[in-house]
Structure 1
Amino acid sequence: MANGNNRKVLVLGATGGIGGEVARQLRDQGWDVYALHRHAAPGGERRDGMAWVRGDALRREDVVAAAQGCDAIVHAVNPPGYRRWSELVLPMIDNTIAAATAAGATVVLPGTVYNYGPDAFPVLREDSPQRPRTRKGAVRVELERRLQQAADAGGCRMIIVRAGDFFGPQVGNSWFAQGLVKPGRPVATVLQPGQPGVGHQWSYLPDVARTMVLLLERRAALPAFAPFHMAGHWDADGTQMAAAIVRAVVRSGGAQPRVRAFPWWLTALAAPLAPTLRELREMRYLWQQPVGMANDALCAVLGAEPHTPLDEAVQTTLQGLGCLPAPAATAPGTPRSPARLPA
């Protein structure tokens, strides 16, 4: 069983947006990071300051073997493009639970608001009722139930960080990159999924990752099952994210983009042929009424929530998505500007 001073961590989903960001931040904090990947070299390889282990998150023996000696497992793996959730999500978390129980490790999970239905709105707290109205939401509720059951049984610990819609420089599978702008293209039009006046919550991925890292450092003082909510960036009237994108484009010398309503009617027509659009349409209820999250419990532990200013976060996101010119290259080894950290 791992001990509390061990700094070896297994990351599932290290090639994805949140998994990759958490892996890099843990590496930079001195953790010995192991990343499970199906196409890693036989016998493993080291690159980017991490050990890449060959294996599949859907094969329990691979996950258990890779987690040996680990004090933490970051479970940041999801089916690509929202596809096959009901088939793949729960088997993967069961494998992670088995590996964490065998190693005595803490599982860290990036959570979502999918767990909640309209009866819990407009402000979500960790103990708000979870009565989702979508298939993905029901899967997330069951996933977290299994995590809590494992924590209650002893032998492993669970940290969940629930946040709003992700955006960031390496987040392709997100509303920002799939709904508001088109990656790899200059921004001529910004689509606005919500109606003006309806608040919406966004979460900058490096801030979410930093929160997970800070909680992991404090894992010994947390309950065995510890869910937390992030306040992120609250778009009070549903127009501020679009406005921040417009400002970023204009600051970079581009023509002012148009802001248009998201074509929900098109998702209805294309849903039968496009799984991603079908899944996006299922989430429409999250844009039809204000949905925010209270971070009191998180601030009680960390003192403050990591928070990058909106304009800085949007600029970096658009550059990372190839929608704006990349910033001037820095010398090798020059550290990136971190998210704003709590004192």
Structure 2
Amino acid sequence: MTTQTTPIGKALVLGASGGIGGEVARQLRDAGWQVQALQRGLAEPAMQRDGITWLRGDAMVRDDVQRAARGCSVIVHAVNPPGYRRWAELVLPMIDNTIAAALAERATIVLPGTVYNYGPDAFPLLREDDPQRPVTRKGAIRVELERRLEAAAGQGARVIVVRAGDFFGPQVGNSWFAQGLVKPGQPVRTVRMPGDRGVGHQWSYLPDVARTMVALLARRSTLAPFAAFHMAGHWDADGKRMAESIRRVVERRGGRARLAAFPWWMVRLASPFVATLRELLEMRYLWRQPVRMDGGKLAAVLGEEPHTPLDQAVEATLAGLGCLPGQAA
């Protein structure tokens, strides 16, 4: 006799084919949620895959988002233009569509936040209520995005923002770890370090971030209508801790890896011709001064922040990227 389990609730994940969106979708599924995801170019209007219902649609099309969100009590907004491109055109229209759907359903919006909202006047230790005075175009867009979310929270939606450091994880996709430190599909021989010598940097392991979001959703009725949290994650105090962990893992698996500086000079030379590199160059300031996040508020709500030991998290990430010795490209 098969026992039917009633889902905790129904959640829509936008950006489920990406790193953080995919991880949150899987963890919501495993926690007992009924999960739906939106994907462009799907062959069928709807299909089941890995316990998730995939619906054909586009986060830029309001009707698609509202149709996919019907009956959902949670919308995870984890969709971003790839490679930093076209932020000015796409980021705000997509959040407006999510807000419209959330207001219609009285749903909770979950947003993976960034440090871009803050300028150097708030560094080196960021707290949730620090003034947001960004120095980049992308930062200004993120500030406006959160302003619209806060306004929606005053109109009946609920919002949870989880700001974290640079992501890494087994299915990290578009990230500094996967595109700057190592090369996916190739055993690690050189670890590139983007930061200036001795400058600390904040990292966050994707499964820990997703676990945090799921845990906060379980407590959403006790949170403020607009609730923002910072994750302490993994603090790399001297800018070498992450690289040294990669080297340890590689050597433990029988390989060898050296540490080297990231070739910013090549990025600068090529940036006039490659839009993504121009956008990367704009964010270099985050590698030239320490930026750390205070996780005290989050720990007070959850008891403790989900935290996978660094070497364990790095090994899982390298395995997922196909970067360990002996893995086929």
Bin for the TM-score computed over the shorter chain = over 0.9
> Aligned to 1:283, what secondary structure does the other structure show?
helix
Aligned: 1:49 with 2:54: no
Q: 1:26-105 to 2 correspondence within 5 Å?
A: 26-105=28-107
- Say if 1:75 and 1:107, in contact at 8 Å, map to a contact too: yes
Name the residue aligned to 1:207: 208
Shift of 1:82: 1.1
Q: What is the CA deviation profile of residues 110-130 of structure 1, one whole-angstrom value per residue up to 9, with x for unaligned ones?
A: 001011110000000000111
| Aligned-residue identity in percent | 72
Q: 1:178-327 to 2 correspondence within 5 Å?
A: 178-255=179-256, 257-324=257-324
Gaps of 5+ in 1: 328-343
Q: What is the CA deviation profile of residues 119-175 of structure 1, one whole-angstrom value per residue up to 9, with x for unaligned ones?
A: 00000000011111111111100100000011012x210000000000111112111
Give the structure-2-normalised TM-score: 0.95
Name the residue aligned to 2:3: none
Q: What is the CA deviation profile of residues 16-46 of structure 1, one whole-angstrom value per residue up to 9, with x for unaligned ones?
A: 0000000000000110001111123433111
For residues 198 and 319 of structure 2, the distance between their equivalents in structure 1, rounded to whole angstroms, comes to 28
Shift of 1:282: 0.9
Aligned: 1:157 with 2:147: no
For residues 213 and 106 of structure 1, the distance between their equivalents in structure 2, rounded to whole angstroms, comes to 12
- Say if 2:166 and 2:204, in contact at 8 Å, map to a contact too: yes
Corresponding residue to 1:108 among 93, 103, 110: 110
For residues 325 and 216 of structure 1, the distance between their equivalents in structure 2, rounded to whole angstroms, comes to 39
For residues 326 and 152 of structure 2, the distance between their equivalents in structure 1, rounded to whole angstroms, comes to 44
For residues 46 and 84 of structure 1, the distance between their equivalents in structure 2, rounded to whole angstroms, comes to 31
Q: What is the CA deviation profile of residues 40-91 of structure 1, one whole-angstrom value per residue up to 9, with x for unaligned ones?
A: 3433111110111111100001101110110000000011111101100000
Shift of 1:241: 0.5
Give the structure-1-normalised TM-score: 0.92
Q: What is the CA deviation profile of residues 290-343 of structure 1, one whole-angstrom value per residue up to 9, with x for unaligned ones?
A: 10000111011100000000000011111111101589xxxxxxxxxxxxxxxx
For residues 192 and 42 of structure 1, the distance between their equivalents in structure 2, rounded to whole angstroms, comes to 43
Aligned structure 1 segments of 4 or more residues deviating by more than 4 angstroms:
none
For residues 25 and 325 of structure 2, the distance between their equivalents in structure 1, rounded to whole angstroms, comes to 26
Query: How many equivalent pairs are there?
Result: 321
Q: What is the CA deviation profile of residues 161-190 of structure 1, one whole-angstrom value per residue up to 9, with x for unaligned ones?
A: 000000111112111111111111111111
For residues 52 and 325 of structure 2, the distance between their equivalents in structure 1, rounded to whole angstroms, comes to 29
Name the residue aligned to 2:147: 145
Partner letter of residue 289 of structure 2? Q
Partner letter of residue 206 of structure 2? L
For residues 172 and 22 of structure 1, the distance between their equivalents in structure 2, rounded to whole angstroms, comes to 14
Partner letter of residue 233 of structure 2? G
Gaps of 5+ in 2: 1-6
- Say if 1:204 and 1:313, in contact at 8 Å, map to a contact too: yes
> Aligned to 2:215, what secondary structure does the other structure show?
helix
> Aligned to 2:109, what secondary structure does the other structure show?
strand
